[in-house]
A = this chain, B = another copy of it.
Amino acid sequence: MKNVLTDKVINRLTLYHSILSDYIDKDIEYISSPQIADLLHIDNTQVRKDIALLKYKGKCKVGYKAAELKVLIEDTLKFKTVKTSFIVGAGNLGMALAKYDNFEAYGFNISALFDNSQEKIGTQINNKKVFDLKKLPELATKFDAKIAVLTVPRTSAQEVTDFLVKSGIKYIWNFTPCVLNVPDDVQVWNENLIGNFLQFTVNHSDN
């Protein structure tokens, strides 16, 4: 299954997963592709194509069994594989992400936060401790953490990135507005919040 799902398919599958969780919470057993399509304001054919990629077939007239489809998406997107990660920068954004319990359902386990502010070091957010940034190399080895969520101010983004790279971090989820310089064996995912949203306003706006 490696590399066969495009970014957009993965993104939609996580949205379907969210809808399926809602249905299951409401004790609704079956869901149809038009129901999913309606909620997301996308085309029914698209939904069916995506689900066909999972080699899952619905039942005629009643649709997909919500619980089965949910597990299938979880398997495909490896939600059960725990991905240990650190949040680097315990400002508002770092704290918001640390509180975002929903991540755990996706195997994304934030085990600690790091900061260099003496006021923040030693505090806890959502049962996750804030450590001195200097401790990161040691703890990355101890917890086998390869993922860092970067939420530091833009002015220290590159400097902290260099430190993360030296500490053995291999994946950086970059929430800063900076383009980071990293060696080839380190992957950066630029969250680029504003870019995501601009796609939306540029293509939909009537102004």
Binding site for B on A (CB under 8 A): 2-3, 5, 7, 10-15, 18-19, 22, 39-41, 77-78, 81, 83, 91-93, 95-97, 99-100, 102-103, 106, 108, 147, 154, 171, 173, 177-179, 181-182, 184, 187-205, 207
Copies of this chain in the oligomer: 2
Q: Within the complex, which residue of B12, B195, B205 is in contact with A10, where a contact is CB–CB below 8 Å?
A: B195
Q: Within the complex, which residue of B41, B171, B189 is in contact with A196, where a contact is CB–CB below 8 Å?
A: B189
Which residues of the other chain, B, contact A100 by a CB distance below 8 angstroms? Answer: 93, 193
Which residues of the other chain, B, contact A13 by a CB distance below 8 angstroms? Answer: 195
Which residues of the other chain, B, contact A18 by a CB distance below 8 angstroms? Answer: 177-179
Asked if A192 and B14 sit within 8 Å, CB to CB, the answer is yes
Asked if A91 and B96 sit within 8 Å, CB to CB, the answer is yes
Q: Within the complex, which residue of B14, B99, B187, B204 is in contact with A200, where a contact is CB–CB below 8 Å?
A: B187
